[in-house]
Amino acid sequence: MTRPISTSRTAIRPFVRLGAALSLGALLAGCVSIPDGGPVRVVEDGRPQQVSPARIRPAGPADGASPRDIVNGFLQAMMSSPVRYDIARRFLTDGAGDDWRPEESVTVYSLSSVAEPEERSGAESVAVDIAREAVLTEQGRFTVPAAREQHFDLTLVQEDEQWRIADPPPGALITDAFFEDYYDAVNAYYFDSAGEQLVAAPVHLPDDEGRPTDLVSSLLGGPDGVLGGQARSFLPSTWKLAAPVEVDDQGVALVRFAGSDSGVSVGDRERLSAQLVWSLRQISTVTGVEIRIGDRPIALPNTPEVQRIDAWDQFDPAADRPTQLFAMREGRLLVVGRSSTGPFAGAWGRDPVPADDFRVAVDAERIALVTGGRRVVSVSPLAGEPALVPARQGTDLLRPSWDAAGRLWTIDRVRGGSRLTVGPADEPPRSIDLGPLAGGRVTGFELSPDGARFTATARVGARDALYVGAIRYDAEGGGVVGLVDIAEIPLPTETGVPLSAAWRSSTTIALLARAQERVPQVAIVAVDGSSSVTGAVRVGLLPQDGARQVLSAGLLSSPIFVLDAEGMLWTQNGDGRWAEASDEPVSLAAFAG
């Protein structure tokens, strides 16, 4: 992505592993500056962050360097912090340096080999082979390449009696270690197709002072392809950054656009402001956002020039998201806290109602019970006496889900595959194609807190895997049209076999998995598959075997729970250790929704 050249005032707190940074700095044979220290914090994906990463300024080409040394130096020079490509350009011919566009993409590779040069009619050819792990788009979106192996034949010619590369590969190339230590995942916020709520798209940006600028530049690039092409941006396509985003000593991020807001409605100005504020507030030093169009502040009634980072909560898709964990013991409904469990008030907490599974609605006014050996889903109000009304019938019904519109989502495992139906509980449901999951056995299905995505654990063929997809809605009526972009989430090898999954945030998933014969553990993985490179983030260390389900409300402010084979619920205490949250076992547990 393109950065305006400036000296930004931002101080950011990105993540870095000090040992890796030192070894990488030595490899680059450049200058490395280590921060003095600072507080460690937890960000959305659960990773601790330092105040700032070690700075790396790689060395330029040495006089008389061989063709192979020039190629190696070029590969190393692309990995600098803060990100800069002027040194890497010094390894290229003048013409190639003018044409090279490293900001167009970033290829992340794990292995590389640089062959000895071969002579070719007054030039030298050096073969480079890399094993690609990912490709970042110009906006920083993580993609997995179809082919892992990539080969380049680089031509080197003499320029001023020095070897230089005449045909560099497109984009920039960085190692997976550099990506893990010097890039960080943040969300670029767009709107759903109806323009009613914010939706998040993860992007990976360098951990340096240019991150606010990179994040706004990513937003300006638009949401093409996000959520199956449904996401919308209210930032006009004609707007460009007039200057780098600056964050002053009070934490105010100044965003200046070249363009005009003439013809942009107040509603659209509110939404574009929400996109910018929600995106930039992820940077720890930002306390407010000032948006200027030309030399004027954006015109919004009853809105200060410096917008607070907690503004625009009317567009928060999880504003009313319930955080109460419910459980069942001997057919009685319970409410679960961090350290205690008690009966639900009223008849549901007093009178037993046998069930194979259950789920309380998002508004906590209804409950769906799976009964009859998982052949029937019945619905009842939670107020007053149980009054179950059959809503769905099937062969082997999973725990259902409720969305914010009150629709019931039901997975039925039938012979030869799985079937999904969606609709109001009191109306005939609509069948929704599960794509590649239709021929497999779905073992878990959860809606994201913003309703934009789903995650599922399933056995397809002979493999148990974790899947994610986007939900397509009718922009006019808001009905569910189908599921799109269904794909397996690649996991680090050490994560193991997925057993259960729940949303940790709108773009991260809490995954319970078993690696070989070890005790199952909970880890946080990203929906875009980037954890396959950065590694999954383990959530503490479960001390006992038998964990069978992970439970999360989809909000970072809400704790994660684990239900074990004995019916005991576990959660983390203040020091991050897992501890029992209930005195007695329960048979079932589920968050609302």
Residue-level pLDDT at 52: 57
- Same domain (yes/no): 235, 89: no
- What sign does the CA torsion over 469, 470, 474, 479 have? positive
Which residue carries 């209804």 as its tokens? 366
> By the 8 A CB rule, do 134 and 147 touch?
no
CA distance to 5, 17, 78, 79, 571, per residue, from 172 (Å): 18, 22, 7, 9, 43
> By the 8 A CB rule, do 562 and 576 touch?
no
Q: Could you say which of 181, 196, 219 is where a domain stops?
A: 181
What CATH number does the domain containing 152 carry?
3.10.450
Residue 515 lies in a domain: yes
User: If we measure between CA atoms, which residue out of 236, 234, 168, 228 comes closest to residue 201?
Assistant: 228
Residue 349 lies in a domain: yes
Q: Which two tokens stand for residue 24?
A: 């990488």
Residue 121 lies in a domain: yes
Around 488, how many Cα atoms within 13 Å sit in the side-chain half-sphere? 17
- Same domain (yes/no): 359, 488: yes
Residues 155, 167: Cα–Cα separation, whole Å: 6
User: If we measure between CA atoms, which residue out of 212, 184, 176 comes closest to residue 79?
Assistant: 176
Q: Could you say which of 156, 181, 206 is where a domain stops?
A: 181
Torsion of CA 152, 157, 159, 165, to 10 degrees: 0
Q: What residues in the chain have per-residue pLDDT under 50?
A: 2, 4-51
> By the 8 A CB rule, do 271 and 315 touch?
yes
- Same domain (yes/no): 143, 277: no
Question: DSSP states of 23-89 as a string?
Answer: HHHHHHTSEEE-------EE-TTS-EE-SSPPEEE---PPTT--HHHHHHHHHHHT--BS---HHHH
- Same domain (yes/no): 423, 384: yes
- Same domain (yes/no): 447, 543: yes
pTM to 2 decimal places: 0.89
- Same domain (yes/no): 198, 284: yes
Q: Compute CA 559 distance to the chain's CA centroid, rounded to the nearest angstrom.
A: 19
H or E stretch covering 92: none
* Edge-to-edge strand list for the sheet holding 561-564: 547-551, 561-564, 569-572, 578-580
CA distance to 1, 436, 519, per residue, from 516 (Å): 41, 26, 9
What's at 302, amino acid-wise?
Answer: N
What's at 369, amino acid-wise?
Answer: L
Residues 189, 181: Cα–Cα separation, whole Å: 24
Burial class (CB in 10 A: 0-12, 13-18, 19+), 109: buried
- Same domain (yes/no): 117, 247: no
Residue 456 lies in a domain: yes
Domain count for the chain, please give it. 3
* Residues 508, 511, 416: CA angle, nearest 5 degrees: 110
Residue-level pLDDT at 7: 31
Residue 399 lies in a domain: yes
Residue 517 lies in a domain: yes
- What sign does the CA torsion over 593, 398, 566, 328 have? positive
Residue-level pLDDT at 119: 87
Q: Could you say which of 315, 345, 375 is where a domain stops?
A: 315
- Same domain (yes/no): 364, 309: no
Domain of 133, in residue numbers: 67-181
What CATH number does the domain containing 416 carry?
2.120.10.30
Residues 96, 427: Cα–Cα separation, whole Å: 64
The 3-class secondary structure across 362-402, one letter per residue, is CCCCEEEEEECCCCEEEEEECCCCCCCEEEEECCCECCCEE
Residue-level pLDDT at 160: 94
Residue 34 lies in a domain: no
Residue 53 lies in a domain: no
> By the 8 A CB rule, do 68 and 116 touch?
yes
Residue-level pLDDT at 477: 86
Instruction: With H, G, I as helix, E, B as strand and everything else as coil, classify residue 197.
Output: coil
- Same domain (yes/no): 209, 295: yes
> By the 8 A CB rule, do 455 and 552 touch?
no
- Same domain (yes/no): 298, 333: no
Residues 279, 160: Cα–Cα separation, whole Å: 47
Residue-level pLDDT at 401: 98
Count CB atoms within 10 A of the CB of residue 257.
23
- Same domain (yes/no): 311, 345: no
- Same domain (yes/no): 128, 229: no
